């Protein structure tokens, strides 16, 4: 696969004042506001008060631009050292940081696994995570497998949250109103001959964010319990 990370960076003309960093930052803002469908070199050039020619000195294609933005986002992810808190606390902080990052950039799950992760920030995150899982006692390919299991859980969970929020947002309702409607529907049992006690009941005084946080933590703890048991065996 052709990638901006494997090509030599072209030198921009001396008179060029636009920097790659400026382009990446504004592209990220545009993606966060309008998603992948809203990003184009023409629109980005207009946001930067610059022609498309200036952009092409720094990025050849839209895919190049997305690769650069993804790597910039990897720089937002915190990967702590395994000491002094221990590998499990470190992995938990890493997972929570990754989840928060995906939730900030709702378009990210669409491209995260389809683009090569060869940029400096992505490589740094990967190296830090390898240290964490190595400290847990995993060796060889199991280090990558354990890291992949955690990342897949986090990204899948956060992607589901993003999807729900995006869909509900398009209806003009709040997340709280939507969740209460689902809870009321499930409790009514309409259309169900045998309706078990609803697992979607809305606990009094509990907001949706808290419920999602609790669900994420439950899943993560269960996964880490399994990984810990595996490495101890």
Which domains, from first to last, does the chain contain? 4-74 (1.10.10.60), 87-185+197-232 (1.10.357.10)
Least confident of 1-15, 83-97, 131-145, 214-228: 1-15
User: How many beta carbons lie within 10 A of that of residue 25, not counting itself?
Assistant: 14
- CB 43, CB 33: distance < 8 Å: no
- CB 23, CB 59: distance < 8 Å: yes
Mean pLDDT in residue range 125-137: 94
Mean pLDDT in residue range 149-157: 96
Q: 152: number of CA atoms within 13 Å, CB side?
A: 7
pLDDT score at 186: 59
CA 41/CA 225 separation, integer angstroms: 46
Least confident of 8-17, 140-149, 170-179: 8-17
pLDDT score at 9: 67
- CB 157, CB 176: distance < 8 Å: no
**DSSP SS3 for 111:** coil
Q: List Cβ neighbours of 5 (8 Å cut-off, separation of 6 or more).
A: 67, 116, 118, 119
Pick 129 or 175 by higher pLDDT.
129
CA 233/CA 227 separation, integer angstroms: 10
pLDDT score at 3: 75
Least confident of 73-77, 112-116, 163-167: 163-167
Residue 62 clears pLDDT 60, i.e. is over it: yes
pLDDT score at 66: 93
Mean pLDDT in residue range 170-182: 70
pLDDT score at 171: 75
Mean pLDDT in residue range 208-218: 89
Average confidence score pLDDT of the chain? 84
Cis previous bond, 84, omega within 30: yes
- CB 20, CB 58: distance < 8 Å: yes
Mean pLDDT in residue range 3-31: 78
């Amino acid at each position: 696969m052709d990638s901006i990370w494997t090509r030599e960076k072209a030198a921009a003309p001396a008179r060029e004042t636009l920097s790659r960093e400026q382009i990446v930052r504004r592209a990220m803002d545009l993606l966060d506001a309008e998603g992948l469908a809203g990003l184009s070199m023409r629109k980005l050039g207009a946001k930067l008060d610059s022609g498309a020619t200036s952009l092409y000195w720094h990025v050849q294609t839209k895919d190049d631009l997305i690769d650069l933005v993804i790597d910039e986002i990897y720089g937002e992810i915190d990967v702590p050292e395994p000491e002094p808190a221990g590998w499990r606390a470190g992995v938990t902080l890493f997972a929570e940081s990754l989840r928060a990052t995906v939730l900030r950039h709702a378009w990210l799950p669409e491209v995260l696994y389809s683009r090569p992760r060869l940029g400096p920030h992505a490589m740094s995150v990967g190296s830090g995570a390898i240290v964490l899982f190595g400290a847990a006692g995993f060796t060889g390919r199991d280090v990558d497998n354990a890291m992949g299991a955690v990342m897949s859980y986090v990204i899948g969970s956060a992607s589901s949250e993003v999807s729900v929020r995006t869909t509900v947002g398009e209806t003009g309702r709040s997340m709280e109103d939507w969740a209460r409607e689902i809870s009321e529907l499930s409790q009514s049992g309409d259309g169900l001959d045998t309706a078990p006690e609803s697992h979607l009941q809305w606990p009094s005084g509990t907001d949706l964010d808290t419920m999602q946080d609790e669900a994420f933590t439950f899943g993560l703890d269960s996964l880490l319990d399994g990984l810990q048991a595996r490495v101890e065996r």
